């Protein structure tokens, strides 16, 4: 996807996480004319905060290059970044962007959780529940109030939570401190290990052991075992749905959505919730009415980076209509652009 330079105003959306950073550039009509991706853009997760800035700038530079444009062509930008959890995090990014892209003055910087809202709710008003490697929950209220979970989340959710709870169940069962579970054989098979002791050793070894992504790779195994009816795995999945619903209720209350007396859009996204037949999504939807009675849940139709782009358009005077959203969807890069 490479386009010739143009005098038409352009807009930039960036979604930065631990597994990847993605950037899209579009025209005011929503046609995506440039895309770029790079590595970890989370200032908490990258080797150094400046390395996260480098990753974001690399993705932005690639997207602009493929659009045949430079930063001065941008009429607005929305940076939705994992690790923007406290005011000083936003201030760090504001200073970094001012240094690295001084012409980019029309920009907003928010936690990556907000990127998913417009993926299913064009107005940008509602709650987003994203569960991928980890979980991000954010809400924008009818008067513009903002709240995101950040470091308020006191439960491991997403693939991290599924993996941690499943491995704990397996190891406790090995010690006769918890019920036997089909998770034991399923995880041993997944990790190509013979015994629970061998698996525990590999996951915790000081040298030559597993990496963080190895640990979370079993999330789909956990949900498959739950779908097969294992009681322990089923309880793990149900707890995940309950946690996600609980924090979504907090987000709605903190932003005035819960008391508005109107239906509340709740947008689901992330690999754990978007997987076909996801039992975590089912558990979440079952629990959600207890925390947000007027919830209208639906799965996001676009990836979060597209939501960030729609934020950039919406925040800079472009009405995000169904037509604009359709043009973004129809001009997205190939699926492997977002593969992890």
Q: Where are the domains of the chain?
A: 10-120+302-338, 124-300
What confidence tens digit (pLDDT) does each residue in 118-148 have? 999 999 999 999 999 899 999 999 999 999 9
Tokens of 7: 């005098």
The pLDDT assigned to 87 comes to 97
Low-confidence ranges of the chain (pLDDT < 70): 1-7
Q: What share of the chain is helix, strand, coil (3-state, %, to 5)?
A: 45, 20, 35
Element (DSSP H or E) covering residue 136:
strand 135-140
Is the CATH number of domain 124-300 3.40.50.620?
A: no
Domains 10-120+302-338 and 124-300 share a fold: yes
The pLDDT assigned to 7 comes to 55
How far is CA 296 from each of CA 70, 122, 262, rounded to the nearest angstrom? Answer: 40, 14, 10
User: Is residue 288 within 8 Å of residue 266, measured between CB atoms?
Assistant: yes
Opening angle at CA 32, ends 297 and 58, nearest 5: 100
User: Is residue 296 within 8 Å of residue 264, measured between CB atoms?
Assistant: yes
Opening angle at CA 291, ends 241 and 243, nearest 5: 30
Residue 318: closest CA among 17, 16, 30, 25: 30
Spatial distance between the Cα atoms of 234 and 213, rounded to a whole number of angstroms: 23
User: Is residue 67 within 8 Å of residue 10, measured between CB atoms?
Assistant: yes
Q: What are phi and psi of 18, to 5 degrees?
A: -80, -35
Pairing of β 32-38 and β 126-131 = unpaired
Q: Is 203 exposed, middle or buried (0-12, 13-18, 19+ CB in 10 A)?
A: middle
Q: Is the dihedral of CA 87, 90, 93, 95 positive or negative?
A: negative
Is the whole model's pTM more than 0.85, yes or no? Answer: yes
Query: Which superfamily does CATH assign the domain made up of 10-120+302-338 to?
Result: ATPase, nucleotide binding domain (3.30.420.40)
First to last CA, the chain: 20
Residue 215: closest CA among 160, 155, 165: 160
User: Is residue 218 within 8 Å of residue 272, measured between CB atoms?
Assistant: no
Q: What are phi and psi of 45, to 5 degrees?
A: -100, -25
């Amino acid at each position: 996807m490479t386009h010739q330079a143009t005098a038409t105003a352009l807009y930039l959306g960036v979604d930065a996480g631990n597994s990847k950073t993605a950037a899209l550039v579009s025209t005011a009509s929503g046609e995506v004319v440039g895309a770029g991706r790079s590595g970890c853009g989370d200032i908490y997760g990258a080797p150094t905060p400046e390395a996260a800035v480098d990753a974001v700038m690399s993705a932005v530079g690639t997207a602009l290059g493929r659009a045949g444009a430079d930063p001065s062509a941008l009429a607005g930008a929305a940076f939705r970044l994992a690790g923007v959890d406290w005011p000083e995090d936003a201030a760090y990014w504001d200073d970094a962007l001012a240094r690295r892209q001084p012409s980019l003055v029309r920009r907003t910087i928010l936690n990556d959780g907000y990127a998913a809202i417009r993926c299913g709710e064009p107005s940008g008003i509602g709650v987003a529940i994203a569960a991928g490697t980890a979980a991000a929950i954010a809400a924008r209220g009818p008067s513009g109030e903002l709240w995101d979970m950040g470091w308020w989340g006191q439960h491991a959710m997403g693939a991290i939570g599924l993996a941690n709870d499943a491995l704990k169940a397996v190891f406790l069962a090995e010690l006769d401190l918890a019920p036997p579970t089909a998770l034991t054989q399923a995880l041993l098979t997944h990790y190509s290990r013979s015994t629970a002791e061998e698996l525990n050793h590999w996951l915790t070894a000081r040298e030559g052991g597993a990496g963080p992504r190895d640990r979370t790779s079993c999330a789909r195994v956990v949900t498959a075992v739950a779908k097969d009816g294992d009681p322990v795995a089923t309880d793990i999945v149900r707890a995940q749905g309950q946690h996600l619903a609980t924090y979504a209720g907090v987000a709605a209350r903190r932003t005035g959505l819960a008391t508005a007396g109107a239906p509340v859009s709740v947008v689901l996204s992330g690999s754990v919730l978007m997987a076909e037949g996801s039992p975590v999504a089912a558990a979440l939807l079952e629990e959600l009415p207890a925390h947000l009675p007027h919830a209208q849940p639906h799965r996001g139709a676009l990836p979060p980076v597209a939501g960030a782009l729609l934020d950039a358009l919406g925040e800079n005077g472009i009405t995000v209509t169904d037509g604009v959203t359709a043009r973004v969807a129809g001009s997205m890069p190939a699926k492997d652009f977002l593969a992890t």
